[in-house]
Amino acid sequence: MDNGAFEMQEDGVANISSNKRQPYENHIESRQEKKRPMSLMKIFLVCFLACLITTAIGVLILSLVYLVHFNPKTSQQMSNPAPETDKSPSQSGGSGSNITIVSQVEPRYSFLSQLSKSKEFKFEGGAIQWARYRNNPKEYTNDNEKEFGISINSHESKTTVGTLRIVSQGLRAPHWHFNANEHGFLIQGKAWIGVVDDGNTVTTFNVTAGQVIFFPKNTLHWVKNVGDEDCLFLLFFSTHDELKTLDVDDAFFLTPEDIASRSLKPSGGVEFIRTFKKPKEDQAINLPEDLVELIQKADYVQSSDSDVWKYFYDLKGSKQYKFPGGIIQWARYRRNGNGLNASEKIYSESVNKHSDTLTLATLNITTNGLRQPHFHFNAHEMGYVISGCGQIGIIGEKPVPDFSVGIGDVFFFPIGTQHYIKSICDEDLFMILAFSTGNQLETLDMDDYFHATADHVLAQLFLKKQNEFKKIPKFDEDQAINVP
For residue 104, the model assigns a pLDDT of 85
pLDDT tens across 103-159, in order? 589 999 999 999 999 999 999 999 999 999 999 999 999 999 999 999 999 999 999
For residue 60, the model assigns a pLDDT of 63
- Mean pLDDT for 232-240 is 98
pLDDT tens across 66-77, in order? 444 444 333 333
pLDDT at 3 over 80: no
Angle between the 72-79 and 29-70 helix axes, to the nearest 10 degrees? 60
Closest CA relative to residue 373, chosen from 396, 397, 405: 396
For residue 120, the model assigns a pLDDT of 97
pLDDT tens across 348-386, in order? 999 999 999 999 999 999 999 999 999 999 999 999 999
> Which residues share a beta bridge with 103?
none
* Buried-exposed string 133-153: b where 16+ CB fall within 10 A, e elsewhere: bbeeeeebeeebbbbbbbbbb
pLDDT tens across 280-325, in order? 999 999 999 999 999 999 999 999 999 999 999 999 999 999 999 9
Poorest-pLDDT segment among 22-36, 170-184, 220-234, 264-278:
22-36
DSSP conformational letter for 480: S
- Mean pLDDT for 235-246 is 98
For residue 47, the model assigns a pLDDT of 67
Spatial distance between the Cα atoms of 367 and 422, rounded to a whole number of angstroms: 9
- Mean pLDDT for 388-396 is 97
- The C-alpha angle with vertex 462 and arms to 457 and 467, in degrees rounded to 5, equals 65
- Mean pLDDT for 381-404 is 95
Strand 410-413 relative to strand 381-387: parallel, antiparallel, unpaired? antiparallel
Spatial distance between the Cα atoms of 13 and 357, rounded to a whole number of angstroms: 92
HEC profile of 417-469: CEEEEEECCCCCEEEEEEECCCCCCCEEEHHHHHHHCCHHHHHHHHCCCHHHH
State the pLDDT confidence band at 398, using cuts at 50, 70 and 90: confident
SS3 10: helix
For residue 82, the model assigns a pLDDT of 36
pLDDT tens across 412-446, in order? 999 999 999 999 999 999 999 999 999 999 999 99
State the pLDDT confidence band at 399, using cuts at 50, 70 and 90: confident
Architecture of domain 107-443: Sandwich (2.60)
Strand 160-166 relative to strand 231-237: parallel, antiparallel, unpaired? antiparallel
SS3 245: strand
Contact 479, 324 (CB under 8 A): yes
pLDDT at 55 over 80: no
Contact 237, 181 (CB under 8 A): yes
Spatial distance between the Cα atoms of 439 and 413, rounded to a whole number of angstroms: 18
State the pLDDT confidence band at 101, using cuts at 50, 70 and 90: very low
Average predicted confidence (pLDDT) for the chain: 86
For residue 53, the model assigns a pLDDT of 73
Closest CA relative to residue 103, chosen from 55, 45, 53, 147: 147
Helix ranges, 179-255 (H): 248-253
For residue 9, the model assigns a pLDDT of 32
Contact 309, 203 (CB under 8 A): no
pLDDT tens across 5-53, in order? 333 233 333 333 344 344 434 443 444 444 455 566 666 666 666 666 7
Phi/psi for 401 (5° steps) reads -60, 150
Higher pLDDT, 9 or 393: 393
Spatial distance between the Cα atoms of 148 and 135, rounded to a whole number of angstroms: 13
Furthest C-alpha separation in the chain:
137
Within a 10 A sphere around the Cβ of 53, how many other Cβ atoms?
A: 15
Spatial distance between the Cα atoms of 309 and 190, rounded to a whole number of angstroms: 17
For residue 397, the model assigns a pLDDT of 85
Contact 133, 242 (CB under 8 A): yes
Contact 438, 358 (CB under 8 A): yes
**Distance between alpha carbon 152 and the CA centroid of its chain, in Å?**
4
For residue 23, the model assigns a pLDDT of 40
